[in-house]
Structure 1
Amino acid sequence: MVRSAARPSKVLRLLAEKYPTKEIVYEQLIYLQSRLALPKGIEHFLSDLHGEYESFFHILNNCSGVIREKVEYVFGTRMTRAEQAEFCTLIYYPKEKIEQMRETRRATPAWYRANLERLLALAKLMSFKYPASKVSGFIPARYASVIVELMTTRPEADAAQMAYWQRLLSAIVQIDAGADFIEAFAVLIKRLAVDRLHIVGDFFDRGHRPDAILDSLMEHPNVDIEWGNHDLLWMGAALGSEACIATVVRNSLRYGNTDVLERGYGISMRPLTTFAAHLYPDERPIRAAERAITMMLFKLEGALIARNPDFQMDGRRLLHCIDYRSSCAVLPGGRRCELEHAYFPTIEEGSDPYVLTEGEQAILAELRTAFTESSALRRHVDYLYQKGSLYNCANGNLLFHGCVPLHADGSLREIVFGGKAYRGRAWFDFCERMAREAQLYGEEPALDFLYFLWCGRLSPASGREMKTFERALLSDASTWKEPADPYFRLIDTEETCRMVLEEFGMDGARGHIINGHVPVKVKKGESPVKAGGRAIVIDGGFCRAYHTKTGIAGYTLISNSRGLRLLQHQKVANVREALRGSGDIESVAETVELQARHGTVGDTDEGRAMKEEITDLYNLLLAYQNGMLKPKE
């Protein structure tokens, strides 16, 4: 029995309001104590989705291969491989698969009945890790009563239960509700397969449908997000930062995915392309628009850096280094580099190169209005703020997208901002506070800070010195090299990983750092598992543009009751491939960590909170028993 140390009467009275009778306390104590013994929920970690909706959608639907494994486990001796694959496709894409079966006249009553029985058997097996109350919460509400009845009926027990179970299934098919119940079971199975989903940054840029990814995630019951630098950039654009807006537009033009802006978020590129066509009549419209917005960006960025010396980003402020007469740029240190082109119609020689022309100001004003008034973009950014943070400590894992700024010797780098010094976790906390102030108040310093978080060398979401000016204007590729924080090199050492974990209050000997941000070049022999498993980099290149560099199609890290498993996706099917030939993910599994015993809910953060609640409830029960508080009758 927990010791009955006197707790403040105010705390006990508050507990008594929530648990007013001894019977309610008994019920909650029994429930919590038993929950602690259940296996821990399955967590999936994904990173750097970069708008690749089709790949993400398939991985979300097949739960990174977990459903296929469960189907094989349950039906391995009763179904052929082809039948298992077709059944999996039904779970992944029930609407589409049922429509296909109807078109081929194979959606018979017997087909519906057989698949409902299979879905029920699979759902029962997968539900054993959860308390009944949680399982019922996973079922779509419209079908909950019937599915709960099916899940709790025991046809193997006696003839009456068997008859009842058969009648339930027959009635569903008879009233032509088979399709609806198959879809409901598919939702239930997917929710049972993944208890919690962690997205370690970067929804935006490169791929064509980050908006669809976010729409899908908003329907998932348990998600957390660790902001990536691309996410922070779009957050800044949605809140009205002109430097962020110019960068988002430039990136969309460079990656050829302006549909994200125009169709996804209703932000028209027409004013910019019309303006650019007058400035660069000999260029293709997209290229002209890119050149025009790039010059606006360099001006906006230069002014932003000048008013924020604490960002330490002077190396990116280079417009004034252009020698227009010699068509060269004289970089800091005196190095002369030839310009890729020397036509700058929006800069007058001898004037301040960072001043926007009236035409540029008008275009930016239109773009700012379009970004800040896009209801779809605001809805997604609000979701990123609601579910997101710069870092997360979850069940022994430290999640963040980029890096912890370090010195070359591995010590935490001290960063001075506003006259105060920060390092490690304190720097992350300060950066997140500034990001949230941008949403709360929309004032220039916080909006500027979001731009810094996107591309600053000292930003924990970036950690490298981007060479946008050099890549856009200089022909010498040697100037394009982007220096990075020592963290990205030192993460290979266990000493560094332990130090970082302990800085964030984690167990340095048993915890794990989970990063994204830097694609792992598997084809060159790089490994995502660093420092003996203390760090795992899960940016495997979901974005198709990275497939040639990484040699794979992304990673999913899975944490279950037995430990950590990393799935290296060789190929990810899409909806069409799945329906045409029951295509699926082709993955290679690697066990990162295998525990000696099955982990339970009691080993998790949720379990620790439950134990604290159990202690409080025992104290309340003692207060009821010794008369300190009177329970309600």
Structure 2
Amino acid sequence: MDTKYLDLLTEKYDSEEKIVTEIINLDAILNLPKGTEHFVSDLHGEYHAFQHVLRNGSGNVKEKIRDLFKDELTDKEINEFATLVYYPEEKLKMMVNSFAKNQDLEVWYAETIERMIRLVSYASSKYTNSKVRKALPQSFVYIIEELLYEKNELNNKTDYYSSIIARVISLGQANKLITGLAYTIQRLVVDHLHVVGDIYDRGPDPDKIMDTLMNYHSVDVQWGNHDVLWIGAYSGSMVCLANIIRICARYDNLSIIEDGYGINLRPLLNLANKYYEDNTAFRPKMNSKKEDVLGENILQITKIHQAISIIQFKLEMSIIKRRPDFNMHHRLLLEKINYEEKTIELNGITYPLENTCFNTIDPNNPCELTKEEEQVMNKLLFSIHHSEKLARHIHFLMNNGSLYLKYNSNLLIHGCIPLNEDGSMKEMVLDGKSYCGRELLDLFENHLRYSFRNSKVTNDFSTDLVWYLWTGENSSLFGKKDMTTFERYFIKDKATHKEWKNPYYTLRENEEICRAILCEFGLNPDQGHIINGHTPVEEINGENPIKANSKMIVIDGGFSKAYQPKTGIAGYTLLYNSYGMQLVAHKRFNSKEDVLANGTDVLSVKRVVDRELQRKKVSETNIGQKLLEQIADLQQLLEYCYRKNK
């Protein structure tokens, strides 16, 4: 072992007893049951639905309540208690107002605190005392620990415990204690959260989701294609920046840009007002809560939508021309337009164009930005780089995220592994070298991280490759032949709108293909699963999210309201505890108020994916591997620094 490392260890463990104690502690932890992992995907800015799923642990909270109190509480009372755990502040206010007498309220407080303590004890049964202590509300740690480790065998301390609870109530601290216990339960039912991509775009509050994740006790993110757009914009990619503004305009969510991140859109609005008029193809998809938006605001969004779309198409052409390795020359669409006749030729067929808004395009040099457009984009990029909140969020994504993750024998990936029709790994040639499979994804991630570290540099290869991740044929995040955004705006014939998926999305039904992918990433195909997001599962049409004999699990079931008519549900989540995996389907989340009033959840069905033959322990997990390495280091320290000197 490196002597410098030994010196650092001896600063922390300066006696033989400390080393031995830590070895015993870590070795004991290895024999605990593995913690519960919670998988979510494709949140798309739906903060309130995500919050509810997070608070109820995809049904894990109510399941523990039912297990513990099934012989004591009715179904209605179980629902009431579960709602109190999910939304303690709001539910407590309702309950307090429902009691006519203070005496009745005090009895309810005492019963509720006692039940909360029992539930904390039950939910924490597979954790060490020190881990539970960290999860407790700091202002009540001593009180809760006294109640938590109550021993009533001889009834010697019954009055002691009763007096603690009574004094908490008489001092007006019951609400605070119950609230703290509720959040402790939420934390204990899920040990680790995986977000398998697409926090951003479509929905109204991705910034609030990011704030939640930054305060979550244990989380990782596998970047989705929409997340990479935001990372790319922050990393200096003007075309990624144009894309995120266009999508926000399309879904009437420009407030994310302006109010959420403080980015000034006034220069873009001035440009839009100068060159664009109303255009039905660019009117925003309205959110139901915004039906009363004034017509003038809709017109402004429509103009901005057109202005940024044209800028985006121009910037994309510039990248395609300077990066021949991207093999996208067939997407130089602005050069294929007959501007006088308003037609375009694609694959030998001439199509009429409608809803055109080509006022700032020079037919002789269609990819060139006007001076005004260039000034606007420079100002927007400056604002992006100086948004303190966005900087915090993107740094969090980079520090806690990756394109894929190998975790506890499973492969977590948002999009796909690009494949050929025969199931072999699809190759991409860059600078004369071929990349495929894991090596290709590693290349993408290395360039994305380089672009992030050098955000003041634009138009370099790494920054262009970030955009390729959004729209390129060989991108593991896009997974289609072409992105037909232009065609959907301007061509009526829907045959041109078709986006052909990579063979992966058909072949992932095949168990042997999934096993080969797991092997490609160094995972055991007998034990592992691929956990996927990105493509909504159309359960309404009978599609099964559990594929390839359970080797493939797709958990994008439609958190985004835009997808729910197509999927028939409102998202899948996955739970993986020491007993195995369960897939949870969710009904549409209406509101927190609905849950509080009716005590209803948004869960529909839990399906067993895999049942462990033998309960899995911490020793068999990623964390267990790290603990084993720590034990080995401590044993070496004990041998060389202490016993050697005896």
Task: Tell me if structure 1 keeps the 8 A contact 2:306–2:357.
Answer: no
Out of 165, 175, 178, the position equivalent to 1:182 is 178
- Is the deviation greater in 286-295 or in 60-69? 286-295
CA distance in 1, matches of 2:179, 2:213: 18
Out of 464, 476, 482, the position equivalent to 1:448 is 464
The alignment status of 1:93 with 2:87, answered yes or no, reads yes
Alpha carbons of structure 1 residues 249 and 12: separation in structure 2 relative to 1, 3 Å: closer
Shift of 1:211: 0.9
Alpha carbons of structure 1 residues 71 and 489: separation in structure 2 relative to 1, 3 Å: same
**3-state SS of 1:545 partner:** coil
Alpha carbons of structure 1 residues 128 and 340: separation in structure 2 relative to 1, 3 Å: same
For 1:74, the equivalent position in structure 2 comes to 68
Out of 503, 506, 510, the position equivalent to 1:489 is 506
Task: Tell me if structure 2 keeps the 8 A contact 1:571–1:587.
Answer: no
Task: Tell me if structure 2 keeps the 8 A contact 1:453–1:462.
Answer: yes
Out of 337, 340, 348, the position equivalent to 2:362 is 348
For 1:146, the equivalent position in structure 2 comes to 143
Matches within 5 A, 1:363-382: 363-382=376-395
For 1:59, the equivalent position in structure 2 comes to 53
For 1:567, the equivalent position in structure 2 comes to 584
Letter in 2 for 1:548: P
- Is the deviation greater in 445-454 or in 171-180? 445-454
Task: Tell me if structure 1 keeps the 8 A contact 2:278–2:302.
Answer: no
CA distance in 2, matches of 1:231, 1:8: 39
**3-state SS of 2:522 partner:** coil
For 2:243, the equivalent position in structure 1 comes to 247
For 1:328, the equivalent position in structure 2 comes to 343
The alignment status of 1:399 with 2:412, answered yes or no, reads yes
CA distance in 2, matches of 1:387, 1:273: 35
Shift of 1:10: 6.7
Out of 289, 302, 307, the position equivalent to 1:287 is 302
Out of 199, 216, 220, the position equivalent to 1:220 is 216
**3-state SS of 2:563 partner:** helix
**3-state SS of 2:198 partner:** coil
Q: Size of the alignment, in residue pairs?
A: 620
CA distance in 1, matches of 2:11, 2:331: 59
CA distance in 1, matches of 2:277, 2:511: 56
CA distance in 1, matches of 2:357, 2:624: 64
Matches within 5 A, 1:127-526: 127-154=124-151, 156-283=152-279, 284-331=299-346, 333-349=347-363, 351-442=364-455, 443-444=457-458, 445=460, 446-464=462-480, 465-526=482-543
For 1:540, the equivalent position in structure 2 comes to 557
Task: Tell me if structure 1 keeps the 8 A contact 2:33–2:616.
Answer: yes
Task: Tell me if structure 2 keeps the 8 A contact 1:572–1:586.
Answer: no
- Is the deviation greater in 32-41 or in 142-151? 142-151
**3-state SS of 2:156 partner:** helix
Shift of 1:15: 4.5
Alpha carbons of structure 1 residues 165 and 277: separation in structure 2 relative to 1, 3 Å: same
CA distance in 1, matches of 2:228, 2:525: 29
- Unpaired stretches in structure 1, ≥5 consecutive residues: 1-6
**3-state SS of 1:197 partner:** strand
Out of 603, 610, 625, the position equivalent to 2:627 is 610
Alpha carbons of structure 1 residues 32 and 573: separation in structure 2 relative to 1, 3 Å: farther
- Unpaired stretches in structure 2, ≥5 consecutive residues: 280-298
Shift of 1:525: 1.2
Shift of 1:20: 2.9
Q: TM-score, normalised by structure 1?
A: 0.94
**3-state SS of 2:644 partner:** coil
- Is the deviation greater in 544-553 or in 103-112? 103-112
CA distance in 2, matches of 1:317, 1:164: 79
Letter in 1 for 2:121: K
**3-state SS of 1:160 partner:** coil
Cα deviation, 1:104-159, whole Å, max 9, x if unaligned, reads 446822222221111000001111110111111111222222222221232x2333
CA distance in 2, matches of 1:259, 1:11: 50
Task: Tell me if structure 2 keeps the 8 A contact 1:516–1:537.
Answer: yes
**3-state SS of 1:511 partner:** coil
Task: Tell me if structure 1 keeps the 8 A contact 2:46–2:560.
Answer: yes
Shift of 1:17: 4.3
Task: Tell me if structure 2 keeps the 8 A contact 1:538–1:555.
Answer: yes
For 1:45, the equivalent position in structure 2 comes to 39
Cα deviation, 1:79-105, whole Å, max 9, x if unaligned, reads 111111111111111111122233444
For 1:3, the equivalent position in structure 2 comes to none
CA distance in 2, matches of 1:393, 1:422: 20
Matches within 5 A, 1:5-24: 15-24=9-18
Task: Tell me if structure 2 keeps the 8 A contact 1:573–1:584.
Answer: no
- Is the deviation greater in 209-218 or in 263-272? 263-272
Letter in 2 for 1:360: E
Q: TM-score, normalised by structure 2?
A: 0.92
CA distance in 2, matches of 1:313, 1:112: 66
Cα deviation, 1:170-196, whole Å, max 9, x if unaligned, reads 121111111111111011101110000
**3-state SS of 2:583 partner:** strand
Alpha carbons of structure 1 residues 291 and 90: separation in structure 2 relative to 1, 3 Å: same
Shift of 1:478: 0.5
Pairwise CA RMSD: 1.8
CA distance in 1, matches of 2:207, 2:97: 31
Shift of 1:624: 5.9
Shift of 1:41: 0.1
Task: Tell me if structure 2 keeps the 8 A contact 1:327–1:341.
Answer: no
- Is the deviation greater in 93-102 or in 189-198? 93-102
- Is the deviation greater in 192-201 or in 606-615? 606-615
Letter in 2 for 1:602: S
